[in-house]
Structure 1
Amino acid sequence: MIASATLACAAGLLLAFMGLLWFASAEVQQSIVTESWLYLLLFTLAILLTAAISYVGTRSLASSLMALEVGLLNFKDNDFSVSIPVTGDKQLQALANLFNDSAQTLRKERQYIYQRELLLDKVIQSSPNVMLLLDDEQRVIYANDAARHLFYGGLRVEGMKLDVLLEGGSAELISALNNPKDGLFSLTDNADDDAQTWHLSRGQFLLNGQFHHLILLKQMTRELNRQEVAVWKKVIRIISHELNNSVAPIASMVNSGRMITKDLNDPKLQLIFDTIEDRTSHLSQFIFNYARFAKLPLPSKSKVDWQTLTAQLKQHYQFELLGERPTTEVYFDLIQMEQVLLNLLKNAHESGSEVSKVTLEIKQANQPNSPQELCIEVKDAGSGMSADVLKQALLPFYSTKQSGTGLGLPLCREIIESHDGRISLHNRDEKGLCVSVWLPQ
């Protein structure tokens, strides 16, 4: 601004001097040429005076603009603690007041956001749910305290790759986290502990032009724990006993009634006997299904012939066998495990999947520093399970089918856990469900 005023003054003086030379008389022109040093001195003094006046006049404006520039640079660095002095004319004072009010508002907003972040972080860190936030390269951006204890003994895991974090982990946990869909699986901390059921859910969002992936692991509250299941089993045994004591005489009386009235040949009487016999047969089957869950015997283990077992399964439900059958010797209760696999294959066929998309795979699941395990996977291409159904799928008496008893998967779980194994359910990447059975060798 000072330079502009000085140049404008110099240009004006030059124009005035040239006009004087052009319009003055010869005597004046001769005088100017003779005393040119005097005019040069006056010209220089005028320039210096203009520069000095401009400096004094614009010093307040320059200071205010400099203060505003410094304040905006602090804003750029996320520092809202600065305020600028209110000086100069009314316009500069109004600008300074507006800047200071903006700084105060931003300070309050930042303090509020900071307190809210502290509260949110406290809640997340105190949550028993495991939370992992990953970037597109599967590198951990954020992990709460539960995640650090589950994966890394309580140490910080930020910056680690997910595959490195899972090294040495259980096969179920690795399989669940490598699956891109939600799922339900079991974990056992120690050999003497009961298996803990976990629910896995995933989310994805875009932040600063980069996708972030959120993994949540929730330990399921056992609505029916071991003691409650034992009570239910006892109640079922008592009810089954009493119902059988009533159903058996009714069935016997129906047969006796048929024999006594066979010569009457009355259609109405025949319909009554058929109805009673049908309902007693249905009730007997109903009691048998519940009693089987309540009176599950201990497994009688024997060597498994995979060729025979898979052939027997195919007689009931068609499936595609993936991979080779295991060559190592495996021992479990053939009748009980056949019931498990038949139930899983039945569910796969009833899922809405094409029969050709139902598969069975039997493979080794060797993990470092852990005993050898066998993994049996039944997959389909049906509709899968919703999050709510997944949470309750293994609970006794829960069913999504109108005619279901709610004992299919719970019975499978009872049989598998009696073999010291575990069961997990996961929705597949494209569509369908994958049920994994883990059995120790």
Structure 2
Amino acid sequence: MWRRLNSLQGCLTLLLAVAGLAGALVYAGVTQWPLPQLLLWLRKDLALSIRAPMQVGIYGGLLASVVVLLPLAFWLAGQVMAPVSRLLRALEGAVASYRDGDFSFSIAINRRDELGELIRMHNALGQTLREQRQHLVQRELLLDTVVQNTPVALVLTDAIGKVAYANIASRHLFNEGRSLVGLDFAELLAEAPEALRKAVESGEDALLSVEMDGSEETFHLSQRAFRLQGRPHRLHLFRRMTRELSRQEVATWKRVIRVISHELNNSLAPITSLAHSGAELARRGQLDRLPGVFATIGERALHLHRFIAGYASFAKLPTPQPADIAWKPFLDGLALHCQYRLASPAPERPGHFDAVQIEQVLINLIKNAHESGGPADEVTLSIMDVGNELRIEVADRGPGMSETVLAQALLPFYSTKRSGTGLGLALAREITEAHGGRVLLANREGGGLRVSLRLPQPAAR
């Protein structure tokens, strides 16, 4: 009950009750007592000549009540609205401060009604905004520190090509360490190497090599367009890849040397042993066993020749020469080299690719599918013409691949087979990407692996 009386509604109710009571008292005083008795006493006892009537009527009482109540109501309204007006002015100042980004404004008014609750909520909101602003400033400081000290050169340009933000690496790359903010990025690129300028003008990601300070530097360029504060901006990232590529190149060469050394040892050690055995047999006169020794030596030498030829073909892969290929003669020729089951009819319109290279890819993929350990009749070939893309899929029902193997199967020289060279899938990837396409590997439901070639096709042929 006390809380209700302390509320703003309770105060207004009390003041209205006081005003009503005052009006009733004024009306009663004017019409009943004491004003009529006072006038009678003045007229009779003091013999004063008063022409006013002894009784004031209803309208007179009402007029007197209004005359008294108007100033009283004005004063009471002022008393009630004074704290509300002060609070509204304070809130107006707080909103203006928030609009200017100043969240330190708080209202120091101690009330226990609804206005007091509003003030406490406002102050709590200001405290929350101040804490969020402080955390945001700290995060921005951390982000700026990271961006400024990253080795990746970062340049942010606005809609007219002016540099809006640039880190330390970009200042050293384009302006000898001086600030880039406000400069025209096109003018800065005009003094940069031509390959770098053309890569930026293309608007696409690129990997390029440029001549800088007497040496060759390799950069990876990433470009993205986005809106910042409602305005278009473009972000350019220039990452130096020279050291990383050099490390990868060294690691790749080490892997190649290990694979070649392993294969050479596997072939040369038996050849050496067989040559020694053949010499002993010849010395003892056991010539009847020499043909077998020579045949084994020839077999190991042929395997070594094929191994070296596989690496040579991967290194000297020619540029594909796409042409329109009719499906029936192509599939008939493929069937002479490997066995497969056509899972669906071939498309009606011809494919557009280098027939020799794609045939080589499919031979390797079908051979791998047969070596997976699944049923031979489950090795299938599917060809689908999907808009401007040709999808060729080779599938089997073997054990499939683990996630680790799937992630590395397309890398050169990676193989899970003891006698594998790791070039089959890598060669498929190299040929497909030379056609502008891609290779996808996925395990099948129910077991098995699916290798998909996605080759772009002309829009109209």
TM-score, normalised via structure 2 length: 0.48
Kindly indicate whether structure 1 or structure 2 has the higher relative contact order, using CA contacts under 8 Å at least 6 residues apart: 1
TM-score, normalised via structure 1 length: 0.49
Q: Which has the larger radius of gyration?
A: 2
